[in-house]
Amino acid sequence: MSSAPPFIRALRPKQWAKNVLLALAPLAAGVLLQPQVLLEVVLGIVAFSLTSSGGYIVNDLLDIDSDRLHPKKRFRPIPSGEFPTAIAWPTAIVLLVVPAGVAALLGYYLFAGVLIAYVIIQLSYCIWLKHQPVIDILIVASGFVLRAIAGAALVGVPVTQWFLLVISSGSLFMVAGKRYSEKVESVGKEEAHTRKTLNLYSLGYLRFVWTVAATLTMLSYGLWAFDLNGGTSIGSIASVFPFGAALLLYAYDIERGEAASPEDVVLKDVRLLVCGAIWAGLFLLSVLARQYGWQLPSL
C-alpha cells in the first residue's frame, strides 16, 4: 500500500479484512449463500469498512503528535502531513455518520443501530478508554463482537448463546495476543515509541489472558459443534479439528511475538487460510444438513 494515494492509506484498507466477521452469523444460520443475503452481507461489509476507517482517521488525528515521534507510525499519511488535517477531520465525520444514515434510510434499523454503537465506542476509545489498562483490551475485543452482531442484525437471523460465547472469547484471544506481541516488540524500546498501556502490562498477565481466552474459545466451539444436529453429525464434529488447528497456529504466532497485526498474520499464513477454508466448508455443510434435513454420516 506504500504507493497508494494518502487518502487510501489513511483508511487502512488492510484492516478491512476483519469485517468478514459480518458473514459469520449468516453462515451459522445457513443463509449466507442466498443471493439476497450475500448481497446484503457484501454491502454491510463495505458500510462497516467505511465506518471503521472513520475511526482510524480520528485516532490518527488525536495521536498525531505522539505518532510523529514513533519510528513506524510517523510515516502514516496524517502524522507525515501527506493527508492534511483540514481534510482529514471532515472526511472522518462523513465516514462515521453517512453509512449508518444510509442504512437507516434503507430500512436496516438494527444494523444502523449497531454501527452507531460501534462509532460511540470507538470515539470513547480514541479519546479516553485506550489509556485504561484491561478496559482497552475489552473495548477492542468488543469491536470484533459488534461486527459479528452487525451481520446478524443485517439479515435478521438470531444470535445464539454459543455464537456469542465463541465470538466473545475468540475476540479476546486475538486482542490479548495482539497486545502480548506488541509487548514483546516493545522490550528495550523507548517508552515514547510504545502504547502507554503496554507499560502497565506484564508479559505474564497478557499470556494469562490470551491463554484463558483460547481455552474458553475451544471449549465453547467444541460444545457448539457437538450441539449441532444432536451431536451425531460427522460434519459438525469434524469441524472442531481445523478450528482447533487454526487456534493453535495463531497461538504459536502470538508466543513468538508475531501477532501485533492480526490481519497480516491471517492473510500471510497459508496454513491458517487452509484451516479456515476447511472449517468453513465443514461447518456450512453441517448447518445446511440441519436446515434441509440432509442425512450425513453420523457417529
What would the pLDDT profile of 18-36 be if each residue is shown by its tens digit? 899 999 999 888 888 889 9
Asked whether residue 118 falls in the same domain as residue 219, the answer is: no
Asked whether residue 89 falls in the same domain as residue 43, the answer is: yes
pTM: 0.88
Indicate the number of domains in the chain. Answer: 2
User: What percentage of residues in the chain have a pLDDT greater than 70?
Assistant: 90
Asked whether residue 220 falls in the same domain as residue 115, the answer is: no
What would the pLDDT profile of 229-260 be if each residue is shown by its tens digit? 555 567 678 889 999 999 999 999 999 888 88
Domain limits at 139? 1-159
The pLDDT of residue 104 is above 70: yes
Burial (CB count within 10 angstroms: exposed 0-12, middle 13-18, buried 19+), residue 73: middle
In the block, which residue shows the cell 482529514?
88
What pLDDT band is residue 151 in, cutting at 50, 70 and 90? very high
Of the residues 139, 159, 179, which one is the last residue of a structural domain?
Answer: 159
pLDDT for 296: 56
pLDDT for 218: 95
pLDDT for 291: 67
The residue ranking higher by pLDDT, 1 or 131, is 131
Asked whether residue 109 falls in the same domain as residue 181, the answer is: no
Q: What is the mean pLDDT of residues 116-135?
A: 93
In the block, which residue shows the cell 528495550?
188
Asked whether residue 118 falls in the same domain as residue 54, the answer is: yes
Asked whether residue 126 falls in the same domain as residue 177, the answer is: no
Asked whether residue 112 falls in the same domain as residue 258, the answer is: no
Pick from 165, 287, 277, 299: nearest CA to 222? 165
pLDDT for 179: 92
Q: What is the mean pLDDT of residues 122-127?
A: 93
Asked whether residue 195 falls in the same domain as residue 150, the answer is: no
Tell me how crowded residue 101 is: count the other CB atoms within 10 A of its CB: 12
pLDDT for 197: 81
Asked whether residue 74 falls in the same domain as residue 100, the answer is: yes
The pLDDT of residue 216 is above 60: yes
Asked whether residue 93 falls in the same domain as residue 213, the answer is: no
Average pLDDT, the chain: 88
- Among 39-53, 71-85, 185-199, 219-233, the range with the most confident prediction by mean pLDDT is 39-53
